[in-house]
Amino acid sequence: MNLRGGACLVLFEVCVFHAGSALSAERWVDDEGVLSARHVRLRAGLGMGLLSADLGEEGDVGRVHYSGGGGLNVEGAVGVGAGIEVGARVGHRVVAAGSGLRGDEIARLDDTETYGTGLDDFPNPELRVRWRAYRWAWGEAGLEDRLVPPIEAEREVAEVMGAWTSLHIWRRARLDVGFNGVFTWHWFAGGTVLEPGFGVPVRLWANLTEALYVGVITAPHHFGSTSYTSAHTQLLMGLAAGYRIGRCDVMEVTSSRNALEGLLTRVGVGIGVVCRI
């Protein structure tokens, strides 16, 4: 068993242990955007997907190529106080086609903001800091910074700087909205180029019961042109469902990502567990 597989097993055991402490703690929609001091959140997910590429010219029928793949995601975060949370994530693409498919992104479940991970079996890791600048009776807002460093020379690196807000609606629903500016450096044979972009994640959650909740996810992403690539836009949409048992959540997300004006479509299903300690 590799290191990431062992981490997933340990996280599963932690979730089972803490699930026995209570049938259901606070509802999903009550969760705040930043962990309290000395609190920890652990997450592990598995994602599988199917990528379809339209290879035909305009009006051509039957030239669609399909490939499948999958990936794993393991991440953790800890609250350090003063409204600050720090976290890190790693992934692994477990099926050969999962590298181009980026199956580890599907395994991140409701987190749609993954950039600069490359195309190898072991994607670049992510380090992040989230700060809550302001909180009021029914909402909170702050800033977040994500760094995606390369694990090998001459691989892409990304910096993601954004703002976020969470609105808690009558203790039955929660609306999470963000705006992220993305700066990705790519290494090509002719040199290094900077690709600017942005993402706008929007997630609407509702608790149907104390433990059962559902969500709708959308996230448009736009990437600017460089001397090697043209500008393009992606649109991710998804449906989520989860169930809270004690301090742990079991979540499933079905998503679809369209890119290059519909020429590339990725449909994926992710399932995972999230535990708070």
**All structural domains of the chain with their residue ranges:** 3-35+49-66+128-276
Say yes or no to pLDDT of 57 above 70.
no
| Nearby residues of 164 by Cβ (< 8 Å), 6 or more positions away | 33, 130, 141, 142, 143, 144, 176, 177, 178, 179
Tens-digit pLDDT profile for residues 198-212: 999 999 999 999 999
Query: What is the rounded average pLDDT of the residues 244-268?
Result: 89
| pLDDT score, position 270 | 97
pLDDT at residue number 21: 39
Q: What per-residue confidence (pLDDT) applies to 65?
A: 81
How far apart are alpha carbons 58 and 67 in whole angstroms? 22
pLDDT of residue 37: 96
The DSSP code for 24 is B
Q: Which of 265, 233, 268, 267 is nearest to 64 (CA)?
A: 265
pLDDT the model gives residue 48: 94
pTM: 0.86
Distance CA 9, CA 42 (A): 12
For position 168, what pLDDT does the model report?
A: 95
CB 183 within 8 A of CB 210: no
Q: Mind listing the pLDDT tens digit for each residue in 124-148?
A: 999 999 999 999 999 999 999 999 9
What number of other Cβ atoms are within 10 A of residue 6's Cβ?
11
Top-confidence residue, 265 or 182: 182
In the predicted structure, residue 9 carries a pLDDT above the cut 70: no
More confident residue, 111 or 57: 111
Quote the pLDDT of residue 56.
63
19-25 average pLDDT score: 43
25-40 tens-digit pLDDT = 589 999 999 999 999 9
Alpha-carbon radius of gyration of the chain: 19
Q: Is the pLDDT of residue 229 over 90?
A: no
Mean pLDDT of 108-127: 92
Q: Which of 3, 53, 58, 20 is nearest to 275 (CA)?
A: 20
